[in-house]
Amino acid sequence: MPQRQIPRTATEMLAAFAAGELSPVEVTAAALERIEEANGTLNAYCLVDGAQAMAQAAESEARWRSGHVSGLLDGVPASVKDVFLTEGWPTLRGSYTVEEDGPWDEDSPPTARLRENGAVLLGKTSTPELAWKGVTDSPRGGVTTNPWNPALTAGGSSGGSAAAVASGMGPISLGTDSGGSARIPAAFCGIPALKPTFGQIPLFPESPFGQLAHAGPMAQSVDDLALILDVLSLPDARDPSAMPSPPGSYREAVRRDVRGIVAAFSPDLGYVDVDPEIAEIVAAAVNAVGNAGLLIEYDSPDITDPIEDYEVLLDAGLAKWLEALPAERTGRLDEGLRAAWERGKSLSALRFLEADERRVWLGSTMGTFHERYDILFTPTVAIPPFEAGTEVPPGGGYARWPNWSQFGYPFNMTQQPAATVPVGFTSAGLPVGLQIVGPRHSDDLVLAVCKLVESVLPWHERQPAQPAGH
């Protein structure tokens, strides 16, 4: 008897469950089989718990049969980045600074929402040490590679989540984004991802990166992003910065008709050196979206590159985290992380406050910009994926990872929603992402524009060849 086709997206899986055409046990078994085939090459997962996943899938199957479905994601296989607390599993953050013994007896808010809504938890995805950089490799976890070319990086810091989703090792994953960390790997791996408005998804414990840090969904489709955001936006009393749950549903808002809105297109934000092939692909994508009904104007916000202030905020957060640890637990750090720690320790309180003042100024400037434009389009990343296991492209002249990810971190500083959608491929067969940025609290609009882009340019349907197994 031929094996039934497993849908790619969570939305399609749920429809198949409701119709009785497929069961959570079947899709979970398929995801685990795919992990067995591909994870040895990609290193997307640092922990897989197949026995627990199959038990959860069996429980979900029983609920579907009885008509008592538990939440919005019942039976959908999911993974979580190894920075989110997950009851029963260690959260090692790619670092030997974390003691594996635990106890691991608490879920972070995003993990708790997945569990409450019936998701089947497959395991935890790889992260650079303490999620500090825009690629995914760590002393403890090794190197995560790209499903489109395993010699290249998947990006980071949510590279494990992006590689897992793009390669079919589960349709959805939880990532984080403190400077592009969900958008970069999503663009490099050819999937959509969303960094919502700061506080839209409750977090606990607080990230070392403070108000730069966002949790975000990563998935096979924009519909899935909206579905997951409906789940993750539910309240959690442990986060005093969390916003109230929005009225209505993102699953409905994503289908809003956005034709006629005014969008700015900034090919370079006025200061980014963009790879010519990426620039051409993104410009063509924006032109296609304009032809579909958006009003496009070429314009850039009146900002300069805030990289120096961003790095102050980043390095200060790392220093605060690491200074609290005993010396014997910091002896095996990623060398780049150690250098960032040293820079962070040298910062004065005055310099930190100056950087935070710049962050607030950027937010105000972008707020004014969005009085003229509903949406801002930019490339997601200025360069294509490069050699795995390196922080910067060899020979590219970049000092640190933020130097090549200048489209990402400004919108962590401003706390705006920003998403990426795949819009094409380079001549080398590598994905290219378009970034969609909206004013604060416009997550519904950003998702609706993402949906339009996806419908006009359905590049998300193109899948990477299956990499060899172990």
Confidence of residue 470 (pLDDT cuts 50, 70, 90): very low
| Residue among 23, 60, 79, 81 flagged as catalytic | 81
Burial, 349: exposed, middle or buried (Cβ in 10 Å; 0-12, 13-18, 19+)? Answer: exposed
Distance CA 363, CA 372 (A): 15
Q: What is the pLDDT of residues 189-208, one digit of tens each?
A: 999 999 999 999 999 999 99
Angle at Cα 279 formed by Cα 145 and Cα 415, nearest 5°?
A: 70
- Supply the angle between the helices 222-232 and 109-116 in degrees, to the nearest 10: 100
Nearest to residue 302, comparing CAs of 371, 356, 352?
371
Per-residue pLDDT at 305 exceeds 80:
yes
Q: Write the DSSP symbol of residue 449.
A: H
DSSP letter string, 100-119: TT-------HHHHHHHHTT-
Using CA atoms, how far residue 398 sits from 3, 340, 345, 466, in Å, is: 48, 15, 23, 32
Per-residue pLDDT at 469 exceeds 80:
no
Strand partners, 120: 77
Q: What is the pLDDT of residues 407-423, one digit of tens each?
A: 999 999 999 999 999 99
Q: Write the DSSP symbol of residue 83.
A: T
Q: What is the pLDDT of residues 425-460, one digit of tens each?
A: 999 999 999 999 999 999 999 999 999 999 999 999
Q: Given this model, what pLDDT does residue 246 score? A: 83
| Residue among 181, 233, 405, 442 flagged as catalytic | 181
Encoded tokens for 390 = 């390196």
Give me the domains of the chain, ranges plus CATH numbers. Answer: 10-461 (3.90.1300.10)
Q: Mean pLDDT throughout 103-116?
A: 97
Q: Is 181 a catalytic residue?
A: yes
Q: Mean pLDDT throughout 215-227?
A: 98
| Pairing verdict, β 120-125 and 45-48 | antiparallel
Residue for token digits 């400077």? 179
Per-residue pLDDT at 164 exceeds 60:
yes
Q: Write the DSSP symbol of residue 178.
A: S
Q: How many CB atoms lie within 10 A of CB 87?
A: 14
Q: Given this model, what pLDDT does residue 3 score? A: 57
Strand partners, 72: none
Half-sphere exposure of 457 (CA within 13 A, CB side): 28
Per-residue pLDDT at 2 exceeds 80:
no
* Residue 264 near residue 369 (C-beta atoms within 8 A): yes
| Residue among 138, 157, 161, 207 flagged as catalytic | 157
Radius of gyration, CA atoms only, the chain: 21
Residue 108 has φ and ψ, to the nearest 5°, of -70, 165
Nearest to residue 192, comparing CAs of 434, 438, 467, 408?
434
Q: Given this model, what pLDDT does residue 147 score? A: 98
pTM: 0.97
Nearest to residue 299, comparing CAs of 225, 368, 251, 232?
368
Q: Given this model, what pLDDT does residue 247 score? A: 83
Q: Is 81 a catalytic residue?
A: yes
Q: Given this model, what pLDDT does residue 1 score? A: 33
Using CA atoms, how far residue 384 sits from 41, 94, 211, 260, in Å, is: 20, 25, 28, 32
Strands annotated E in 38-168: 45-48, 77-81, 120-125, 137-138, 142-143, 145-146, 149-153
User: Can you tell me whether residue 432 is helix, strand or coil?
Assistant: strand
Q: What is the pLDDT of residues 46-101, one digit of tens each?
A: 999 999 999 999 999 999 999 999 999 999 999 999 999 999 999 999 999 999 99
Q: Given this model, what pLDDT does residue 467 score? A: 54
